[in-house]
Chain A
Amino acid sequence: MQYLLMIYAAESAEPAPGSDEFMQLIQEYGAFTEEVMAAGVYVGGEPLEPISTATTVRVRNNESLVTDGPFAETKEVLGGYYLLDCENLDQALKYAAKIPSAKYGSVEVRPIMQLPS
Chain B
Amino acid sequence: MEKNKHTVSIQSNIERAVRSCYGKIISQLTYHFKSLDLAEEAMQEASISALKHWQERGLASDPQGWLYVTAKRKAIDIIRKNQNHYKKQQNLKAFNEVLASDTFDLDNNQQTHQDRRIELIFTCCHPALDTASQVALTLNTICGFSTDEIAKAFLLKRATMAQRLVRAKQKISKAKIPYSIPTADELEQRLTGVLGVLYLIFNEAYYSKGSQYLSSKALAEEAINLAHLINQQLPNKAELLGLLALMSFNFSRFDARLDKFGRSISLNKQNRALWSDEQIRNGNQYLKSAVALKKVGAYQIQAAISAVHSTSDSFETTDWLQIYGLYQKLLQYHKTPIVELNAAIALAYTGHPKQALQNILSLEQEGQLNGYHLLYASKAFCLKQIGEKESSKAALNKAIELSDNQFQKDFFQQELASWF
B182 and A90 contacting across the interface, CB-CB below 8 Å: yes
B174 and A88 contacting across the interface, CB-CB below 8 Å: no
In the complex, which residues 64-88 of chain A have their Cβ closer than 8 Å to any Cβ of chain B?
87-88
B175 and A89 contacting across the interface, CB-CB below 8 Å: yes
B88 and A111 contacting across the interface, CB-CB below 8 Å: no
B interface, size bucket: 10 to 19
Q: State in angstroms the CA–CA spacing of A57 and B186 once bound together.
A: 42
Residue A1 at the chain B interface, CB threshold 8 Å: yes
Q: State in angstroms the CA–CA spacing of A117 and B89 once bound together.
A: 11
Q: State in angstroms the CA–CA spacing of A109 and B127 once bound together.
A: 13
Residue A116 at the chain B interface, CB threshold 8 Å: yes
A1 and B177 contacting across the interface, CB-CB below 8 Å: no
Chain A residues closer than 8 Å to B126, beta-carbon distance: 89
In the complex, which residues 171-228 of chain B have their Cβ closer than 8 Å to any Cβ of chain A?
174-178, 180, 182-183, 186
Contact flags A73-117 to B (C-beta < 8 A → 1, else 0): 000000000000001111001000000000000000111011011
Q: State in angstroms the CA–CA spacing of A95 and B178 once bound together.
A: 15
A89 and B177 contacting across the interface, CB-CB below 8 Å: yes
Residue B128 at the chain A interface, CB threshold 8 Å: yes
A-B contact pairs, 17 of them (CB 8 A): A88-B176, A88-B177, A89-B126, A89-B175, A89-B176, A89-B177, A90-B177, A90-B182, A90-B183, A93-B128, A109-B175, A111-B174, A111-B176, A113-B174, A114-B89, A114-B90, A117-B88
The residues of B with any CB-CB pair to A shorter than 8 Å are: 88-90, 126, 128, 174-178, 180, 182-183, 186
A-B contacts besides A89-B178, A90-B182, 9 pairs, CB < 8 Å: A1-B90, A1-B176, A88-B177, A89-B128, A89-B177, A90-B183, A90-B186, A111-B175, A113-B174
